[in-house]
Chains A and B, each alone.
Chain A
C-alpha cells in the first residue's frame, strides 16, 4: 500500500482554503480517467481511494462532489458516511467540491444530491465498500470469519473479545480497491446516525460569525475588483474613458474585453468608486418588449416544441363534451435574489489559476475558466467555498468569471464583489411562463379529457462545461449563449418524461402503451413551447415545475368548483399513484380539512374572510411527493392576503435527517409564499427596473409567519428522493386556491399583489360589493 499524499494535501490546503501553495498544482493532475456522471475527471470514481481515506487516528476523510449551500448537504452526507462506516459522526471529515481532490459529480442541483449519493452508487457505495473491506482485513488479522465480526465506532470486534480499529487496519494507507457495486448497504432498520435529526454541523459557526463564506476568503496580495455592466439589455461598448478614473487612489487597471468592463484597485472602496465614476459610452441596447403585453408576446414567438403526451382523441372529446372549461395562467420572471450579492476570488497566473467560488459546479466552472483565460484545463483549480443560499443559479458562476478575467488582467489575486444592482439587472431569472388549460367534463362529473399547452421563456442557463456565454460575463466577453431554435413537435416515443411537471398529476401519461403518469385521465395532450427570452434565465428553485404546478393545481380546483365537488375528494378520484394520494390524504387529515366544495358558501362579499386550499405534486414525476394545505385570510377592502397556517405532507423516501427535511419544507413553503405574493421582475423599454429590495419585493422578517405543520412520511424501502424543491412548488397553487375558497375570486397571475386581488374580486360573478 502506498502512503496517502492526497490526504496530507487536503490537510494542508482543503480545510483552510486560503493556504494554497503553488506547488500543489504541479503534480496532482493526471490524465482524465473514464466517464463519470457528466464528464471525465482526473479523479477516478471507480476507485475507493477517490472517495475515502482513513487516518491512523481513525478519522475518515470523505470526498464529495455535491456541496452545501445551506440546504444541509454537508451534514447529511457526513451522516451517510458515518452510518455506512459505523463510525461516530465526529470522526468524519467531509471535503466538498474541489477539482483537485473530489470526484466530478457535475452540478449540485435539481434535488439530485441525495438521490445521487444515497442511492445505488457513489459516496454511499464507497462507504459500504470500505466497511466490507475493513471487515475482511480484520477477519484476516483476527483469524475470525468476517460474518462473525461486529463493527462499532470504527472498531471491528470478534466474540472472543479481540478487536482491531480502522486506524490500525488501514490508517494512513490507500485501500487500492475498486468500488464494489455488491457491497451491502446498511438497512434503514439498522440506522444509528442516518434518519436522526442531527443538528446541522455548521450551526454554531454560523451563529457566532466564525463560518467562512466565499466573501471572507483572503489570499496574500489580494486586490479588489468591481464590474461595470451594460445599462441596457444588449448594449455594446462604444468607448471607455479611462481618464475619468485617473484620480482614484489605488486604481490598478481598467479592464475591457469586448463588452465586459471591470476595474481593479488596491482596496474595495476604491474599486467601488472607480466602477461608479468610470465614463463608458454605450451603443443603444436591443430594446425590450413592453411588460404589459409580455405574455401575449411570449405566445407569438417562434418556439421549440415538445409533445410530451398525446392520446390523439383530445380534440374530439373537447368538441363533443357538454362542459368544457378553459383557463390561462401566467407566471412572471423571478429572481434568485441571494441575500448576499455574489463574490469570488481568483488568482490567475501566467501558467495556472486557483479559483475560490460558490459555484454549484466546480468542474464545469473549471472548464469555463479554462475557456475564458486560455489556460489548460488541468492547470485550473476550482475550490468551492459556500456563498449565500443560491436556490438554483445565482450569480456565483458569473462573478467567478469576472474574478478570473480581472485577475488575469492584473496578474494578482482579485476578489470581486458584485453590487445588488449588478446582480438584479442580469441574473439568470426563473422563467416567465404562460400555461393554457382545457378540460372536458363528463356527465358524471369526472374529467374526460385534459389539454395543456405551455410557453416558457428561455435564454442561456447553466454554463455547464461548454457554454460560458450562458451567463452575463461570458456573453459580454464574447461567448454566445445557447439560444432556442424553432422546431416543430414530434409525437412522443419511448416513455413519459415529466421532469418539468408539464403533465398534470391527474393524467395517465401514456406513451407507447406505457402509462407513467400519476393519474387516471387517458384522453390527454401536453404540448410545450420554449421561446427565446429577452433576459437570461436559469433554474430558479423548482424551475418551470413550480409554474406548471401552479397552473395544473389551480385548474384542477376550478374544475372541482365548477362541478361543486370537494377539492380533496375530486383530486383523489383522479389519482392513481398512491404516493401522491397518500400525501394528499395525510395533509388533509392533519389540516382537519373541511370537506365541501369551494368557494365557502358562508363567506361575506366584503370585509376580511378566510379560506383553505390544497395542491399536490409528484416532483419531476418521481423525485419527491408533497401536498400542501394553505389557510389564508383575505382583506377584501385592501386585497391583502395573509396566510394563517400551512400543513405539508411530504414523502422523499427514506428520511436521512428529519430536522433537515423540515427546515427545507418550512423555508420552501415560505419562499414560495414570497414568490406567490410579491416577487416579480419588472422592466421598461430598455432595462430591468427591479434592481434593489425596494423594487423587488421579498417578505421580510416582519411578515407574520404562519404556523407550518409538517407530516413526514418515511418510506425506508423506497429510493431516496429530493426534498429541496417539493414544498415550494405548491405555495402559489395552494394560496391561490385558498383565496378562491375565501372569496370566490380566482387569481391566474402570480404574484397575487393586493391590486391584482382587488381586480379579481371586482370580476367575481355578481359584481364587487366590498
Chain B
C-alpha cells in the first residue's frame, strides 16, 4: 500500500494506513499528537478539532485521504509550552479550563472566528461556538478568554 503524505504542524509525514481512516486516529496513533482528542467520534462535540488549511474541521469524521495536500494544524501546532500562542495565553490568563479535554475545539474554533472577524459580536461568538461542548462547564471563563484574545487583536 503506498503511504499517504500529510503536512501537520509544518512537518511532512508519510503514514501507511487505510485511506478511510479518520484523520484523528492518524494524528493520535501514528503521529502521537495529544491536542486533538476522541470526544464523541460523531462530529458533535468538537474535542477532535484541527485546522485544515486554516479552517476548523472535526478530525474524527474526516477521512485522512480527504486532507490531501492541505496543511493540518493541531492545538500543539499553535504555540508551545514555552511560547503559547496569544489565544492560548488568553486561556491561561483566564484559567479557562477544568479538565481541559475539550480545548482543541474551543480554542481553534474561537481563533478562526476572531482572526477572520476581529469585531465579532457576542451573538456571533455564541453562534460560532454553538456546536462545541465543555462538560466541566467552564463556559464563563472560556468566553472571557475569547474576548481577551479579541481585545489583544483590536
Give the contacting residue for B130; candidates A205, A339, A701; CB below 8 A. A701
- Among residues of B, the one whose C-beta sits closest to the C-beta of A202 is B100
Q: Contact between A693 and B45 (Cβ–Cβ < 8 Å)?
A: yes
A692 to B40, CA, bound (A): 8
Q: Which residue of B lies closest to A662 (CB)?
A: B95
Complex: chain A residue closest to B129, CB-CB: A701
In the complex, 25 of the A-B residue pairs with CB atoms within 8 angstroms, ordered by the A residue number, are A70-B99, A70-B101, A70-B136, A199-B95, A200-B95, A202-B100, A204-B88, A206-B100, A207-B92, A208-B75, A208-B81, A210-B34, A215-B37, A267-B25, A268-B29, A339-B133, A339-B135, A420-B41, A666-B137, A668-B137, A670-B137, A670-B139, A692-B40, A701-B139, A702-B129
A602 is an interface residue with CB less than 8 A from chain B: no
Could you tell me the distance between the alpha carbons of A486 and B154 in the complex, rounded to whole angstroms? 66
Chain A residues with Cβ under 8 A from B129's Cβ? 700-702
A667-B137, A667-B138 known; A341+B132 contact, CB < 8 A: no
Per-residue interface assignment for chain B, residues 1 to 34, with 1 indicating a CB less than 8 Å from any chain A CB and 0 otherwise: 0000000000000000110111001001100111
Given A268-B25, A702-B126, A663 contacting B81 (CB threshold 8 A): no
Interface string of B69-110 (1 = CB under 8 A from A): 000001110111100100011011001011111111011000
The smallest beta-carbon distance between A435 and chain B, in angstroms, is 25
SS class of chain A's interface: helix, strand, loop or mixed?
loop
The interface of chain B, by Cβ under 8 A from chain A, is 17-18, 20-22, 25, 28-29, 32-35, 37-42, 44-45, 47, 74-76, 78-81, 84, 88-89, 91-92, 95, 97-104, 106-107, 122, 126-143
Cβ–Cβ < 8 Å partners of A208 in chain B:
75-76, 78-81, 84, 88
Contact check, B38 vs A205: say whether CB atoms are below 8 A apart: no
Taken together as a complex, chains A and B put the C-alpha atoms of A666 and B137 apart, in Å, by 8
**Cβ contacts under 8 Å, B104 to chain A:** 209
CA distance A684 to B120 in the complex (A): 43
- Kindly provide the distance from the CB of B51 to the nearest chain A CB, expressed in whole angstroms: 12
Decide yes or no whether A593 CB sits under 8 A from chain B: no
Q: Within the assembled complex, what's the spacing in Å between the Cα atoms of A699 and B91?
A: 20
A603 part of interface (Cβ distance < 8 Å): no
User: Given contacts A670-B140, A671-B135, A693-B44, is CB(A207)–CB(B103) below 8 Å?
Assistant: yes
User: Counting CB contacts under 8 A, is A698 at the interface?
Assistant: yes
List chain A residues, Cβ under 8 A from B42: 420, 692-693
Q: Which residues of chain A in 686-709 are interfacial with respect to chain B, using CB atoms and an 8 Å cutoff?
A: 692-694, 698-705, 708
The one of A216, A670, A673 in contact with B28, judged by C-beta atoms closer than 8 angstroms, is: A216
Bound Cα distance from A339 to B104, whole angstroms = 12
The 8 closest A-B pairs by CB, nearest first: A702-B130, A70-B99, A209-B35, A209-B75, A206-B100, A389-B99, A701-B129, A209-B76
Instruction: Tell whether A116 is near chain B: CB-to-CB under 8 Å.
Output: no
Give the distance in Å from the alpha carbon of A676 to the alpha carbon of B95 in the complex. 26
| Bound Cα distance from A213 to B47, whole angstroms | 13
Flag whether A388 is at the interface (Cβ < 8 A).
yes
The one of B38, B40, B45, B88 in contact with A207, judged by C-beta atoms closer than 8 angstroms, is B88
A705 near B140 with CB under 8 A, answer yes
CB distance from A568 to the nearest CB of B (A): 25
A396 part of interface (Cβ distance < 8 Å)? no
In-complex Cβ contact of A339 among B45, B76, B80 (8 A)? B45
Known contacts being A269-B21, A269-B22, A692-B42, is A210 close to B81, with CB within 8 Å? yes
The interface bits of chain A over 578-618 (1 if a CB of B lies within 8 angstroms of the residue's CB, else 0) are 00000000000000000000000000000000000000000
Complex CA gap A739/B74 in Å reads 43
CB distance from A77 to the nearest CB of B (A): 16
- Do B101 and A207 touch (CB < 8 A)? no
The smallest C-beta distance from B150 to any residue of chain A, in angstroms, reads 15
The interface residues of chain B lying within 8 Å CB-to-CB of A212 are 34
In the complex, are the beta carbons of A388 and B101 less than 8 A apart? Answer: yes
A178 contacts across to B, CB distance below 8 A: none
Q: Report the Cα distance A387→B98, complex, angstroms.
A: 12
| Residue contact B133 to A698, C-beta cutoff 8 Å | yes
Which listed residue, A72, A210, A339, A698, touches B47 by the CB 8 Å rule?
A339
**Interchain CB contact under 8 A, B92 and A209:** no
Q: A216-B34, A705-B140 are contacts. A340–B29 as well, Cβ < 8 Å?
A: no
| Residue in chain B with minimal CB distance to A702 | B130
Q: Does A71 contact B (CB under 8 A)?
A: yes
Q: How far is the CA of A659 from the CA of B122 in the complex (A)?
A: 25
Of A202, A338, A386, A666, which is within 8 A of B135 by CB? Answer: A338
A659 to B99, CA, bound (A): 15
Q: With the chains together, A391 CA to B136 CA distance in Å?
A: 8
A376 at the interface (CB under 8 A from B): no
Judge whether A343 is part of the interface by a CB distance below 8 angstroms.
Answer: yes
Q: Is the CB of A701 within 8 A of B142?
A: yes
Cα A663 to Cα B98 with chains together (Å): 8
A702 CA to B123 CA in the complex, in Å? 9
Q: Which of A202, A216, A659, A666 contacts B138 (CB 8 A)?
A: A666
Q: Which A residues lie within 8 Å of B97 (CB)?
A: 70, 203, 206-207
Is there an interface contact between A419 and B99, defined as CB atoms closer than 8 Å? no
- Closest residue of chain A to B108 (Cβ to Cβ) is A209
Could you tell me if A340 and B101 are in contact, using CB atoms closer than 8 angstroms?
yes
Do A389 and B44 touch across chains, with their CB atoms under 8 A apart? no
